[in-house]
Amino acid sequence: MPELPEVEVVRRGLERWVGGRTVADVEVLHPRAVRRHLAGADDFVHRLKGHAFGAPMRRGKYLWLPLADSGSSVLAHLGMSGQLLVKTQQAPEEKHLRIRVRFEDAAGDAAPGTELRFVDQRTFGGLSLHENTPDGLPDVIAHIARDPLDPLFDDEAFHQALRRSRTTIKRALLNQSLISGVGNIYADEALWRARLHYERPTATFTRPRTVQLLGHVRDVMNAALSVGGTSFDSLYVNVNGESGYFDRSLDAYGREDEPCRRCGTPMRRRPWMNRSSYFCPRCQRPPRAS
DNA sequence: TGGTTGACCTGATGGC
DNA sequence: TGCCATCAGGTCAACC
């Protein structure tokens, strides 16, 4: 599932193949793939035509392409199964192709004759168009916190937010207004590395504990990024349709009944918030009931 | 106001 | 072989 490392891999691909190119035409094949656009898909198409894409940007799991000379951006969220692919115009259509963007070819294009495709099996993701804030951020994601790989992420502010909250640590890690980019997979991986149970109350966190956890979050994300992200199936791929390899390095997620790589105890899976949490019952002791 | 829950969505899988 | 239930999970509106 696309979390921060996977989205960053896609952003880098877009930077290489799409940045600087001018939109010739847009085809919306599934109206739901255009999000939050009250004027409809036709208006979305009209507003993109003739504009050049600037350098792609990312915050957490969101990425956006600024539209030159417009003060607005095309915002993309991949949801659970979204893909942004750069394909030749002759390439066969994907079964779940939702939006196609064609470009005006120009001298210097890295990949003339190619187009950008948004493919999404479950249609949890989509593209949308928004005005930029003075910081250059699409206005609808102004509430999204910086992600832990952002040099301006404030560790101390995050620690204070944990101390103030009456919640548990995995909920906090998935709260995109506290820290962005972390999803179910990397939350479980970071908590396993930090030997923390997912139900531990955030109000009990000491500053060293928070710093240690953030270090593990960053380590696991950087490790995933270095091998192209995590792919369990064909649902996550980079812009060239290639899978990442980090699933082979996962220590917690998806390892129910397999031995913990630290102590050998069988890993457990517990239903949690309509999803699953994977943990080692020995290394990650549940908090004492208060 | 902050925390929690369920709907959205479709393909894969397993049980009968 | 076909039908049905279940599962996967990020976001956000609605609810408490």
Residue A226: domain span: 155-279
Q: Which of A141, A170, A186 is the last residue of a domain?
A: A141
Among protein residues, the one whose C-alpha sits closest to the C1' atom of B4 is A273
For residue A287, is it within any domain?
no
Please indicate, yes or no, if residue A286 is contained in any of the structural domains. no
The C-alpha atoms of residue A231 and residue A243 are separated, in whole angstroms, by: 6
Per-residue confidence of chain A (290 residues) as pLDDT tens digits? 688 888 898 999 999 999 999 999 999 988 888 887 777 788 899 999 999 999 999 999 999 999 998 889 999 998 888 889 999 999 888 888 899 999 998 877 878 889 999 998 888 888 999 889 888 888 888 888 999 999 999 999 999 999 998 899 998 999 988 999 998 889 999 999 999 999 999 999 999 999 999 999 999 999 988 877 766 555 566 777 777 766 667 899 888 888 999 999 999 888 888 788 899 999 999 887 64
Choose among A288, A269, A287: nearest CA to A279: A269
User: What distance in Å separates the CA atoms of residue A254 and residue A120, rounded to the nearest whole number?
Assistant: 23
- Is any atom of nucleic acid chain B found less than 7 Å from the CB of residue A124? yes
A170 and A128 part of one domain? no
Assigned domain for A218 exists: yes
Which CATH number is A174's domain given?
1.10.8.50
Same domain, A247 and A200: yes
Number of domains in chain A: 2
Domain boundary (A141, A166, A198) is at A141
* Closest nt by CA–C1' to A178: B2
C-alpha A127/C-alpha A70 separation (Å) is: 17
Q: In whole angstroms, give the CA distance from residue A189 to residue A216.
A: 8
**Residue A289 maps to a domain:** no
Domain endpoint, select from A141, A166, A201:
A141
The verdict on residue A222 lying in a domain is: yes
Q: How far is the CA of A290 from the C1' of C10 (A)?
A: 31
Residues, chain A: 290
Would you give the end-to-end CA distance of chain A in angstroms? 35
Are A42 and A95 contained in the same domain? yes
